[in-house]
Amino acid sequence: MKNIAVIGAGTMGNGIAHTFAQFGYKVSLIDISQDSLDKGLATITKNLDRMVAKDKIAESDKNNTLNNITTFTDLEKGAEYAGLVVEAATENEDIKLELFRNLDNLCPDDTILATNTSSIPITKIAAVTQRPDQVIGMHFMNPVPIMKLVEVIRGYNTSDETTNIVLELAKQLKKVPTEVNDYPGFVANRILMPMINEAVEALYNNVAGVEEIDTVMKLGMAHPMGPLQLADFIGLDVCLSILEVMYEGFKNPKYAPCPLLVNMVRAGKLGVKSGEGFYDYSESRKAEKVSAQFS
């Protein structure tokens, strides 16, 4: 289990790769885009540099971590020796199911196939493989190198052996694994996403403005980040996707996405990654803030 394959070099994927590599695992970071791999490695390097500057790790630790990561655009080459695969591709059911069909054929028989999905049923993903007992959810929180929680989600057929291996592995990463069962949204997003959706509803119904809603939740409920800012950070498209999975899974109208959220995603206002969501993250806006500080 010293060879780990991570699929997807985006925010979650590069964070997962960083964390495993920092703890001495050999990591194959796989993505169909070389540009995404380059950006992922740049992010890992920047985060490691920040840790060195804060004296959390030594320069040698940074170098060892980077040396533990090898990038691949070829799924077969990247996953062929993995004892564990952690899939962190985009939150799209069709993409994930196709990936797991391919991984089932490509990986050794004893490889555990884990998914970082935040809402798609593990049982459904496992059903497209010939090893459903070795398929499990390993839901890391963002930012992965910092956040302690890992939701470990058992599918209907996930074995005790697979679950125990993954729980122990998470502990070796100095995470706090929490075992949950396979229902839409699991625990974290089943509670978080309705709260975010209700905050969007409050904005949609003109109860209060964006900053006012976030201020109430930060100061009144001791949340480190308001729900609308958090939605921007997660990605409004991801929030919408999770809510749609939960709505489809439970057939309960309380999980129906707010029309404002739907329209913002349609308009391409996805939050931090697009430069605008409930807040403006564009370079011009950053320049305005810097100017205001010195005026």
Catalytic residue positions, numbered: 118, 139, 151, 189
* DSSP annotation string for 95-150: HHHHHHHHHHHHS-TT-EEEE--SSS-HHHHHTTSS-GGGEEEEEE-SSTTT--EE
CB atoms within 10 A of CB 246: 25
- Taking the C-alpha atoms of residue 142 and residue 174, their distance in angstroms, rounded to an integer, is 15
273 is in an annotated binding site: yes
185 is in an annotated binding site: no
175 is in an annotated binding site: no
Cross-strand bridge partners of residue 276? 271, 280
90 is in an annotated binding site: no
215 is in an annotated binding site: no
39 is in an annotated binding site: no
11 is in an annotated binding site: yes
129 is in an annotated binding site: no
202 is in an annotated binding site: no
96 is in an annotated binding site: yes
Q: Is 176 helix (H, G, I), strand (E, B) or coil?
A: strand
- Taking the C-alpha atoms of residue 278 and residue 213, their distance in angstroms, rounded to an integer, is 11
* Closest by Cα among 239, 235, 226, 224 to 272: 235
Could you tell me the strand order of the sheet in which 176-181 lies?
A: 69-72, 26-30, 3-7, 84-87, 112-115, 135-140, 149-154, 176-181
208 is in an annotated binding site: no
With beta carbons less than 8 A apart as the criterion, state whether 28 and 5 touch. yes
91 is in an annotated binding site: yes
With beta carbons less than 8 A apart as the criterion, state whether 97 and 125 touch. yes
Binding residues: 8-13, 31, 91, 96, 118, 142, 273
Extract the annotated binding site for NAD(+): 8-13, 31, 91, 96, 118, 142, 273
